[in-house]
Amino acid sequence: MENLKKRSNLLRKIGNIIFTLVVILCIPFSIPRIMGYEIYAVKTGSMQPKYPQNCVIYVEEANVIDVDENDVITFKLGTDTNDVMTHRVVKIDQAKKAFITKGDANSGVDKEPVVFSRFIGKPVFMIPFLGVLRPLFSTIIGFVALAFLIVLVVALWISSDILYKRYKKEKMQQDEIEKKDTAGQTDKKKHKKFSLSVVVPLVLGIVLAIYAGGKLFLIYHDYGKSNQLYANLANQYAKKKRKVKKDEWYNKIDIDFKDLKKQNSDVVGWIYFENDDISYPILYSGDNKKYLRTALDKSDAIAGSIFLEEKNKTDFQDSHSLIYGHNMRNLSMFGKLKFYKREPNYYEGHKYFQIITEKKKYRYEIFAYEDVSERSFIYQVPFDKTDEFQQFIDKIRNKSYLKSDIEVTKDDKVVTLSTCSVEKQRFAVHAKRVDEK
C-alpha cells in the first residue's frame, strides 16, 4: 500500500521535472522571438571567442545606415538561400553598397563582399552551448520530440493520480472509520496542496495563452477587416482594364472620385502600382496623425490609411511630395515596399506607379530607395526649383541602395513613399514624374 503512494509521488515528481525542463528550454527560444529578435545557432568557430561554436545568438533587426566598421553583423550567405553567417565588418564599400567581413578567428577577410540587401541585423547577446538544442525548435523532428515530452508529462501525471486513488482506496479499507477519516483528511489536504502547486501554474498558463491568442485574433481580425474594406473600395471605385496597349499606361485604371468622395471627402488621389501590388486611395487632412490608425471609412484600424504629408499641396504639384503608409506584416498598404531592398530582382518588375487625381493622371519611375532615420533630411517639404533641391536629390541618390542611370533634376516632380521599418527607422522609396495625362 505504501508502495503505491511512493510510486504515485515518484511519477508526479518525474512529470514535474520534465515539465519544468521543457518550460525552461522553451523560454530562450520563444520569449526573445516575441520581443522581435531572430534566433540563430552558431555552427562554426569562426567568431571565437566572442561567439563560440554551438552558442545561440539573438539578432536585432537594424538598418544598414546604423552599421559601422568593427560591428558584428548577421547576413544571408546568398540571395537564394536562407543560410546565414555572423562576422565582423572590417570595411564598408559605399561605392558597391557592400560590407567587407571577416571572422575573428579567421586569418583573412571573407572571399565575397556582403551586399547591403543581404544584411539581416546585429547580434545583441548570446547564450553558450544552447545551440545544440536549437533543432528542437526549428525542425519537424524537434517539434515531434517536444510533443512527445508533453504527452509523456500528461501520462505521468494521470498515472500518478490513478496510483494515488488506489492507495487511498486500500487505506480506507484497512483503517478503522475514525483513523480512516483522520488519515483521509490529512492525505486529502496534502494531495490538494500538492495538486494546487501544479494546477495553479497550469491555469495561469492557459489564461495567458488565451489572452495572447485573443490579442492575436483581434490583430488579424483587424487586418482582415482593413483588407476587405480596401478590396471593396478598389472593386467599387477603381475600374481596371484588361487589354491596354503597352504605351497607354494611363488607360490601365480609372477612379470614380465622385462616388468615392461620398465615402470620405478627404480623398485627394489614388496610388496604383502598375503590377497591382499596391492600389489604394490617398487621403489628406492637414494633420499627419489623423489617418495613422484610421481607415477611409473613419473606423479604427491598425493599418490606417495611405495619406499625404500635411505640408504638401493636394494637387501633387510640389517639387517634393511625401506619401505615408504602414509596413503591414500581411503585406497590405506599403508592406511590399520592403521587397525593393530584400529581393535583388524586384525592382525590374516594379519600376512604375501612378498617382491619379480627379483632374490628372501622373506616372512615376522609381530611381532610389534606402533606410533612413525618422528625422532624416528626406522629410523636407516643400521645395522650390533651386540648387538646394538639386542638392537634396543628389544626396538621396548617394545614399540609395539602387544605382540607376535615371536623370533627376531640380525641375522634376519627386514623390517619396515612406513606410515604417525597425524602431525609429523608416524605409523610403523615391520616384520622379515621367509622364502625365
| Residue 365 · residue 352 · CB < 8 Å | yes
> CA-CA distance, 116 to 99, in Å (whole number)?
7
Encode burial over 308-330: b for 16+ CB neighbours within 10 A, e otherwise: bbeebebebebbbbbbbbbbbee
The cell numbers describing 54, all together, are: 554551438
Whether 326 is a known active-site residue: answer yes
Among the listed residues 55, 87, 320, 326, the single catalytic one is 326
Is the omega angle on the peptide bond into residue 32 within 30 degrees of 0, that is, cis? no
> CA-CA distance, 238 to 230, in Å (whole number)?
11
> CA-CA distance, 216 to 207, in Å (whole number)?
14
CA distances to 276, 278, 435 from 231, rounded to whole Å, are 12, 11, 27
CA distances to 50, 140, 149 from 154, rounded to whole Å, are 41, 21, 9
Whether 320 is a known active-site residue: answer no
Instruction: Classify 213 as helix, strand or coil.
Output: helix
Residues β-bridged to residue 280: 271
CA distances to 264, 268, 335 from 288, rounded to whole Å, are 16, 14, 19
| Residue 324 · residue 418 · CB < 8 Å | yes
Give the catalytic positions in this structure. Answer: 326, 420
